[in-house]
Chains A and B, each alone.
Chain A
Amino acid sequence: MIRACTVDELPPGESVRVPGPPAIAVFHTEEGELYAIGDTCSHQDASLADGWLEGCFVECPLHAALFDLRTGMPTCLPAKDPVPTYAVVVDEGVIYVQGVAGEDAA
Chain B
Amino acid sequence: MKRIAVVGASLAGVRAAQELRAQGYDGGIVLIGSEPHLPYDRPPLSKGFLAGTASRESLDLLDAGDLASLALDFRLGVEATALDPAERRVRLSDGTSVHADGVVIATGGRARTLPGFEGAFVLRTVDDALALRAALVPGVRVAIVGAGFIGAEVASTCRSLGLDVVVLEALAAPLAPVLGPALAEVCARLHVDHGTDLRCGVQVTGLAPAGVSLASGSVVPADVVVTGVGMTPATEWLAGSGLKVGNGVHTDAGLVTSLPQVVAVGDVARFAGRRHEHWTNASEQAPVAVANLLAGHTARTYTPSGYVWSDQYSGRLQLAGHPRPDDTLSFVDGDPSSSSFVATFTRDGSTTGVFALNNAKLFNRLRRQALGRPEFQPAVQG
Task: Report yes or no: B280 in contact with A64, Cβ–Cβ below 8 A.
Answer: yes
**What number of A-B contacts does a CB cutoff of 8 Å give?**
31
**Given A52-B368, A77-B15, A77-B18, do A61 and B363 touch, yes or no (CB 8 Å)?**
yes
Contact of A80 among B63, B318, B368 (CB under 8 A): B63
**Given A63-B280, A64-B280, A77-B283, do A51 and B15 touch, yes or no (CB 8 Å)?**
no
Q: Which residue of B lies closest to A46 (CB)?
A: B360
Q: Which residues 36-95 of A sit at the B interface, judged by CB distance below 8 A?
A: 46-47, 49-52, 59, 61-64, 77-78, 80
Task: Report yes or no: B364 in contact with A51, Cβ–Cβ below 8 A.
Answer: yes
Chain A CB within 8 A of B237 CB: no
Q: For B63, B279, B283, B364, which residue has the most chain A Cβ atoms within 10 angstroms?
A: B364
**Given A52-B368, A77-B15, A80-B63, do A61 and B280 touch, yes or no (CB 8 Å)?**
no
Task: Report yes or no: A50 in contact with B364, Cβ–Cβ below 8 A.
Answer: yes
Q: Chain A contact residues: over half helix, strand or loop, or mixed?
A: loop
Binary A-proximity of B351-366 (CB < 8 A = 1, otherwise 0):
0000000001101110
Which residues from A are CB-within-8-Å of B361? 49-51, 61
Task: Report yes or no: A52 in contact with B364, Cβ–Cβ below 8 A.
Answer: yes
The size class of the interface chain A forms with chain B is 10 to 19
| Distance of A50 from chain B, by nearest CB (Å) | 4
Q: For A51, A52, A61, which residue has the most chain B Cβ atoms within 10 angstroms?
A: A61
Which residues from A are CB-within-8-Å of B279? 63
Task: Report yes or no: B364 in contact with A61, Cβ–Cβ below 8 A.
Answer: yes
Q: Which residue of B lies closest to A81 (CB)?
A: B63
**Given A47-B360, A61-B360, A62-B360, do A52 and B280 touch, yes or no (CB 8 Å)?**
no
Which residues from A are CB-within-8-Å of B318? 61
Chain A CB within 8 A of B309 CB: yes
21 inter-chain pairs at a CB distance below 8 angstroms, sorted by A residue, are A46-B360, A47-B360, A49-B361, A50-B360, A50-B364, A52-B364, A52-B367, A59-B364, A61-B361, A61-B363, A61-B364, A62-B309, A62-B360, A63-B280, A64-B307, A77-B15, A77-B283, A78-B41, A78-B283, A80-B63, A80-B66
A contact set with B: CB distance below 8 Å: 46-47, 49-52, 59, 61-64, 77-78, 80
A52-B365, A52-B367 provided; 6 other pairs, C-beta below 8 A? Answer: A47-B360, A51-B364, A52-B368, A63-B279, A64-B280, A64-B307
